Structure 1
Amino acid sequence: MRIAVTVGAVVLLAACSPGGGHESQPTSQPRMSMPAGAPHTTITKPTPTTTSPLPTTAPAPGTPMSRVTKWVEAGTPADPSGFHTATRDGQSTDLGEDIAFVAPSGAARCTTNKYADGQLACLIKADGLPTKPADVEGQWIPGWVDFAGETVDIGSLHGDPGPFATGDGAELPEGKSLAFGDYRCRADASTLVCVNYAHQSAVLVSSSGVEPLGCLKPVPPPVGVGRQLSCAPD
């Protein structure tokens, strides 16, 4: 009997020992904790930005230059290759690197002049154009506009048609913009707006005349010029 009790005790102890056949299973997963001082990730929602819609009509005088430029650039780009020819009395002339175009309203005929550093000149029909000064002699053309970038001369003396001798370029369609040299022009049904990037200046041409945009402002004109706009400081 003593031997049987001893054997039973040994069997019971073996069953309860760590190597006794069945390993205990954990009842729960250990919790993970961030080490002290660890950075926390914060998800920030982007702040929506709002922009002012572009005007549906040409910019008025006093419009900031950035808005003027955006309006002109918003026009559908026209292919410059279609504006290197001028036509007069049915005869076409290849202008080479020069550009010529006509506004849809017919109130402005424009061309560049490679002999004047690619400067833009336009012949316009409008109200309120300057009359011939009393102290000058020669052929006065009130609607001749020279837009050099830093200055705009409106009305001047000319003994010949100059860059307009070869005639008119193609029509710049309404809503399209044409880029050439330092300039980009956009036409609509009644106005033409031309920007000069080099000087951050622009002109608005309409039936009312020529209005300054950007840095341009009225200044006393030189002899032989009816009206001048300039970016020069006072």
Structure 2
Amino acid sequence: MSESSSSSTKAKGLLISISHIASKTSVPRIRGRNPSCNQVGGAAVAWLPYTLRWPCLVATFVFTCLLGIAVTVVHSISWRNSGLVTDDGSGIVQIGSKFAPTLLATIYVFLASILLDDVKRTEPFARLSSPFGAQADLSISWTADAWWDALFSSLPSRRKNTSWAMLCATLAFVLGFLIISPPSSSLIVSQTIVLTQETKLLQLNIKPSIPIHAKASSETFYRTIGSVLQNVTTSAHLYYKQ
């Protein structure tokens, strides 16, 4: 009976000692907030890449929307006015028509490529966080080298569901380097445009008291002689300026 009481006393003393040590060695709280960390469920997530955080995602989306709006506005103005500006060969026109569209398309492809790389880098961890779990070859040991590997891996199969993040990032990258970037240099081109205008027909009232005297020139005599000798149907008082 004495042995059991002494052992219970030692165990109680051991528990008190461990709780006392744990209270002394508890991790101190860090006051303030790290601006580079995102708060998810009350926990700081510092491992999330910058391109997958909301400010960068919103900026990329706004930049894409502005590109689409700019192309639509430029096309409508060019269609309505039969051109944007007169091509006088100045440097501003050349830079605006050749360099600016290529630069904007290159920026979009660059942002899309960075976004796709970070999505592929974090995709194994996203699959591991699934409540149903994931196999090793589809999660921790999975890698995607090219964009077509990422595209096929994002599609659903019997072993996994659709990876919407990687699918959208891959489609945005493909849209950039296959559709937007190649024709960007020829988005604004210079060409000759025939402008049509409606004019009123002018009528000259001829009075008998004021006859019209034709002013003959050397070309008038040339055309007249050519018409008589060569039997060419022409007018002696019409000529064309080159």
TM norm. shorter chain > 0.5 = no
Counting helix residues as a fraction of each chain, which structure ranks higher?
2
| Structure showing greater relative contact order (alpha-carbon pairs closer than 8 Å, 6 or more residues apart) | 1
Bin the TM-score by the shorter chain.
under 0.3
